[in-house]
Structure 1
Amino acid sequence: MTTFALPFPPTLAYPQPPPLRRLRGALAACAAGIRRAPRMELRIDVQHPQEAIEAELDALHRRLHGADDALQRCTVLPFPFPDLLFRHREADGEHYVYVEDAARGRLAGYTVFNRLIEVDRLTDRHMRSPHSRYASAYQGRGIATAVYEWGLDTGFCLLSGARQSTGAHALWQALGRRHPLGYVAIRDKRLHYLGTEVASPLREDLNTRLILRGKGWSLERMHALGLLHADAAAANQALRRRA
């Protein structure tokens, strides 16, 4: 399949708050989730102007519908959104999911499952770092969540970026209520498992990331295959005891 490179670096997704009529239920569900799960936070300091996102999506849609119509060469994925088309392609081990609103002639958004230059070859075979952008009219509908679920069901484990937006952080927390979520530290191109809670100094370290385990991946299997290493866990426990 012909490679079709993006003209810009992908960034994290920005789901918006739900409509007011659903706000009370969403807040209640969020509070319940906080009571059930340990606190999972990273550096939340990313902001992108929505106008810039909309402009990028318009430009990308025109390019994808150019003379060779790259979107038509993509595989259409079955997703429970009847008004949208989810088109998938793979290039050099990276997976691109473009979400198109064909009736309105626009790109609703996209998610790219990037390979990781920070890890070794063995880890790179099974890990991807998802980055997304969605137009404001399509945020809050669970579209990005469904695409990330597709990646996890495909068998990939997902690794967060060094920084997150508020929306991306909320998305990872929501996924963490349905999929195993933990912390890892990247050291010497290897992932060192830290557990489901980390001490504040480690949480602020740019090498500390969130990891979502995909379908079929247990901690035991990942340790056995050399995808996770445990030698950083003791340091994390010592820091937590001192905190």
Structure 2
Amino acid sequence: MANWNDPQPTRTGFGTSPSIDGKSLGQTASYDMGLRRYMLSIYNYMASGVLLSGIVALVFASSGMAEAVFATPLRWVLVLAPLGFVMAMSFGLNRMQTSTLQMLFWAFAVTMGLSLSSIFLVYTGPSIAATFFATAGAFAGLSLVGYTTKKNLSGMGSFLTMGVFGLIIAMLINAFFPMPGLGLAISILGVLIFAGLTAYDTQRLKEAYAHVAGTEMMGKVVIMGALSLYLDFINMFQFLLSILGNRE
């Protein structure tokens, strides 16, 4: 018979584990540990991809090949190749195996490095290094905000995604019809948009863990998550470099 006068109807009895939000402390600890491993895997892939791209860019530029290639129409192959890998990974996600996505991610990082080698032809080495470390610090802070905030950033994510398309249109207009000050405005907006996307993507990936934990999809989400954060970092770096970089 229920004891309607019991002031603590939900108290735990002997031999039971205390709970938080319906989960035992053991389940919560296990979930948190799995989430940390999952996020660490994403950051490891992302950081390794950025490092690989940086090494490829530096070697390609130092060899003199970058200057030779970017003086010919072949430069468009290097510029557009990374986009091809992103589209292939995005549209083929459900059909591809995790190992295939891994290979495509590393191939993307290499081609992105070849494309990025052009910055060594435009900006001084010290300004590139200073901007890179500034971007890394900003990225770490923004990603931490996205991971720890209790505020739902999904609305902001939709707004920022629309901002990316607007940014692309503005860049195309400026490429064919250059206007004074538009380039600087595009760079400032680019930094702000991808800074916001860094926080949004981090929160989105954190929340995705609850749906993919223990499934075959988790490995794919890790790689695609690393790709998203990689793109946030690289785009923020490039826009910031156009503002802070010293030209050769």
Q: TM-score range by the shorter chain?
A: under 0.3
TM-score scaled by structure 2?
0.25
Structure number with greater CO (CA < 8 Å, separation at least 6) is 2
Larger Rg: 2
Question: Which structure has the highest helix share of the two?
Answer: 2
TM-score scaled by structure 1?
0.25
Question: Which structure has the highest strand share of the two?
Answer: 1
